[in-house]
Amino acid sequence: MLSVRVGEAVWRVELRTVVVRTVLLVLLLVLGAVALAIGTYRLDLSQVLSAFFGGGEENVRKLVIEWRLPRVLFAVLGGLALGISGAIFQSLTRNPLGSPDVIGFDAGSYTGALIVMLVFGSVSYTLISMGAVLGGVLTALLVYLLAYRRGVQGFRFIIVGIGVSAFLVGINSYLLISTGAQQARAAIAWGFGSFSGLGYEQLVPFAVVLAALLPLVAVTRRGFAQLELGDDAARALGIDVERTRLTMTVLGVALTAVVTAAAGPIAFIALVAPQLARRVARTPGLDLVSAGIMGAVLLLAADVIGQRLDITVGLVTVVVGGSYFAWLLIKEGARR
């Protein structure tokens, strides 16, 4: 254990956790450098570093700072948000299948965005973002109410979420086939999940919303961590169980919805990142920081692979995450 004392406060963290987080951060920097260098016009590392420090050719600086850097930052911040959101729901349900994309909150965000794009005919980034966030939050509240039986039991929460997700997929399909071909094509392309075409105009509001949500998660986390001891133990420690659970549900959905609003539905990062972080760091309980960093690494790596293969990042995460999801289902079935 490492102990850091600042005045009266003492923070303790396991050495293995510190090492794992450090390695992940180094890997994130390496992937970031690779992402800035690859593309139609390839650069070497010296050109990327020179552009960051204001040197090199003007067209290279513009390519790195204005065009490629926003995409990298979107992948890092989006992966951070999805990793934390996945850790929240897996802790909430006490089940590795408890992920916002599995439970259906991604589908709800997609429904909200489709209503804005196809029903109201708007292409405004702000309105699409608001629709996605509202759709995700309303879906979460619906699942929460349907799963509530003198409290929320994790497995019931997942089953209800899967059912609501199937219903929303039907609505999304109806919206797509009942509109014009051009509008449907644009909505489907957005639904694959991609960071292409995103710049600082979209990055700034995305980062501001994320900066507002993360402190709320940090403040609520302490009470939420007590829920891992069980509802009775949490109540004995003075925790309002249902209010804390509902608050973290809304925050977890909001983290997923802001990513969906910016880049479209990006599946399975929220499912995979917390599990990989827990297995590597061997943390016994809720570790939002490691899950967030792991999510950033996974999403940036998926974007790099997508650029090399000329496919969207959403398709990469579906292929990789879907395989992991199938393995997890088989493992959970065998264990039960």
User: What's the pLDDT tens digit per position in 234-281?
Assistant: 777 777 777 888 888 888 888 988 888 888 888 789 888 998 898 888
For residue 315, pLDDT beyond 90? no
What's the predicted TM-score (pTM) here? 0.88
pLDDT digits 0-9 by tens, 115-130: 988 888 887 777 888 8
Confidence of residue 192 (pLDDT cuts 50, 70, 90): confident
d(Cα 95, Cα 21) in Å, to the nearest integer? Answer: 23
What's the rounded mean pLDDT across residues 179-186? 79
Q: Which of residues 58 and 27 earns the better pLDDT score?
A: 27
pLDDT band at 179 (very low <50, low <70, confident <90, very high): confident
* Torsion from C-alpha of 259, 263, 264, 265, nearest 10 degrees: -50
According to the model, what pLDDT value does residue 7 have? 67
**CA-CA distances (angstroms) from residue 125 to 45, 106, 130, 147, 296?**
33, 18, 9, 33, 23
Structure tokens at 3: 């102990």
Instruction: Write the single-letter amino acid at 313.
Output: V
**What is the set of domains in the chain, with CATH numbers?**
2-335 (1.10.3470.10)
